[in-house]
Amino acid sequence: MKAWIVTPHAECRLTVEDVALPRPRPQEALVGIVAFGIERDDAHMLLRWDPGGCPGREFAGIVLEAAADGSGPPRGTRVVGLVDGGAWAERVAAPTSTLVPVPETMSTLLAATLPIAGICARRTVELASCHETSRVLVAEAAEPMGSLQVQMAARRGAHVTAVAETPDATEWLQRSGATEIVPSLADAKGSFDVLFQPFARARLTESISKTVPNGTVVVSGYGSVAPTSEERLDLMGQHPARVLTFMNDTPDEHTGQHLQRVVNDVAQGHVVPWIGRVDTWENLRDAVHALRHDSLLGKAVLCIPSGGSLD
């Protein structure tokens, strides 16, 4: 089969190579990948991948071989799933605990956008206990996860202010339920009960300053929220706040349960993922380049024409 492999001196550190088919363990199904999602974190994480590895975490496709232990969906089932690498390929061996059947009313392409942003958005909104009286501020609302946080918080009745640096995101965020859209955290007026912030842009002093006393800051994604020495001094003058962190990097036995809830939300029309680009997987490097340089809004979805063949 073909797969994108990390190659240090290649463009974007990626080349397409012929590799051996994965050998599923008893609790894993072999899935033919039809489409996979890619977002900004994936593009930047390529710098950390060891040479020779196949990146990629979220995917949707067709079960080619059911798990030997009898768990999970049977051969021929359309599924969406999450793995800890290996999804930028024609085939992947995926634990059945991370697989969810795709409803008949949902396209495989749409399903491929859901695992990372969907699970993270749903769990962080639940973690923050957003409700009808909450004033919520979503930083990076034009990102795949941020746009879903806007929709999920608004659906719970919260008053949502969305931060989006580009005006191109305004119409989408208004349809998503944002009651106010501002270009930066500094432009958000008033104090908020909850602030959602990605690790990559997190500055605790600024974030806490935007919350009410004893408000909640939820930081998610990849990176560190450890304050610098200068920030520690600034934090001493801040009001009390609850800072929660959420990492959504390693699938576990509960991944399928969380993903099923997200799939249900989308299937019932409660939330709509923001897809910014649909392309063939041969153009993966173009998508990586666009995401690294902030020239792509929403999720990129790349399709593999041969991935879902049962032959």
C-alpha separations of 165 from 118, 182, 197, 217, 295 in Å? 22, 8, 14, 20, 12
d(CA 122, CA 248): 11
Residue 305 tokens read as 């024409």
Residue 72, pLDDT above cutoff 70: yes
Residue 272 tokens read as 């709509």
d(CA 1, CA 20): 6
pLDDT in tens, 131-156: 898 999 999 899 899 999 999 999 99
Q: Residues spanned by CATH 3.90.180.10 within the chain?
A: 2-113+273-303
CATH architecture of 2-113+273-303: Alpha-Beta Complex (3.90)
Q: CB–CB of 20/91 below 8 Å?
A: no
What does pTM read for this prediction? 0.91
Residue 225, pLDDT above cutoff 70: no
Residue 28, pLDDT above cutoff 60: yes
d(CA 122, CA 265): 10
Q: CB–CB of 131/156 below 8 Å?
A: yes
Average pLDDT (232-244) is 65
pLDDT at 310: 61
Range with lowest mean pLDDT among 79-88, 186-195, 201-210: 201-210
pLDDT in tens, 267-290: 999 999 999 999 999 999 999 999
pLDDT in tens, 169-184: 888 899 999 999 999 9
Q: Residues spanned by CATH 3.40.50.720 within the chain?
A: 118-246
Angle at 39 between CA 36 and CA 41, to 5 degrees: 125
Average pLDDT over the chain, rounded to whole? 89
Report the top-level CATH class of 118-246: alpha beta
pLDDT at 238: 67
Average pLDDT (231-239) is 53
Percent of the chain residues past pLDDT 70, beyond the cut: 91
